[in-house]
Amino acid sequence: MKLLANFSLSKLRAHVAYQSAAMGVLCTLVTFLLVMGQRLTEADIKLRLEEDRLELLSQVLPASYYDNVPLEDAVIIPDTLFSNEPVEVFIGRKKGDVSSIVFEMETEGYGGTMKLLLSLNTSGEIIGLRVLSHKETPGLADKLEISKSDWITVFNGLSLQNLPREKWAVKKDGGDFDQFTGATITPRAVVGRVLNGLDFYERNKHHFTHSIKEEETVDE
């Protein structure tokens, strides 16, 4: 009897339908476990991402510039002169009035795409600039990283009003900004993109410089 049962089970296991059913059960189980794992960790992941974004924000925008939550106060601006994709601009407010904006932008360095984070006050002056990521050669592009150099801070306080447009270039090109030893393409790309960012602000500042009180008046 036992031998017969083992023989029948062996025949069943060899059958295509049995193998398909077993695979289906296994896939369902794995999917269930993945879904449950995602749900259990989703809140923690979201919290970590939020903390990372706040940390990046704090590097370019001191807390003294806002009393709202800039990451929850954003506008989407289409501007094909600046980006093929609409730009998400985060708004810093003090007592309802816009005090600052923050947005990301990309440019091409020697090694590939670089992501930058730029903050401006309502006069169009740079509050802070950071390189979020880059693919430049280690050593040659160390000045991009605030932990290794203060080069990125030379932009602080600059605007289109206090630095002539022709000076928005590296010194090799007749501008005011230092290039890196053995690497001119990278700082040239950063300076050029920051200038683009300032132009973006000038074209679109009417979207940012109204207050919450003005918004409420329009709604009424």
pLDDT, mean over the chain: 82
Pairing of strands 87-94, 74-77: antiparallel
pLDDT tens per residue, range 127-151:
999 998 888 777 777 888 888 899 9
Measured distance CA(6)–CA(136) in Å, rounded: 64
Query: Is residue 147 domain-resident?
Result: yes
If you search the block for the tokens 């289409």, which residue do you land on?
Answer: 78
Query: Is residue 54 domain-resident?
Result: no
In this structure, the answer to whether residues 174 and 126 fall within a common structural domain is yes
If you search the block for the tokens 């369902």, which residue do you land on?
Answer: 28
In this structure, the answer to whether residues 34 and 72 fall within a common structural domain is no
Q: What is the pLDDT of residue 40?
A: 66
| Amino acid code (one letter) for 15 | H
Query: Is residue 55 domain-resident?
Result: no
What Rg value do the Cα atoms of the chain yield, rounded? 27
> How many Cβ atoms are within 10 Å of 54's Cβ, its own excluded?
13
Domains held by the chain: number: 2
Q: What DSSP letter does each residue of 145-180 carry, written as one string? A: STTT-SGGGGGTT--TTTS-GGGSSBGGGTSSBPPB
Low-confidence ranges of the chain (pLDDT < 70): 1-24, 30, 33-53, 209-220
Contacts of 125 by beta carbon, 8 Å cutoff, 6+ apart: 157, 158, 159, 161, 162
Q: What residue numbers bound the domain in which 72 lies?
A: 65-216
Query: Is residue 60 domain-resident?
Result: no
Query: Is residue 212 domain-resident?
Result: yes
pLDDT tens per residue, range 30-63:
677 666 666 666 566 555 656 666 777 888 999 9
Query: Is residue 163 domain-resident?
Result: yes
Q: What is the pLDDT of residue 43?
A: 60
Q: What is the pLDDT of residue 48?
A: 61
pTM of the predicted protein model = 0.73
Query: Is residue 53 domain-resident?
Result: no
In this structure, the answer to whether residues 16 and 121 fall within a common structural domain is no
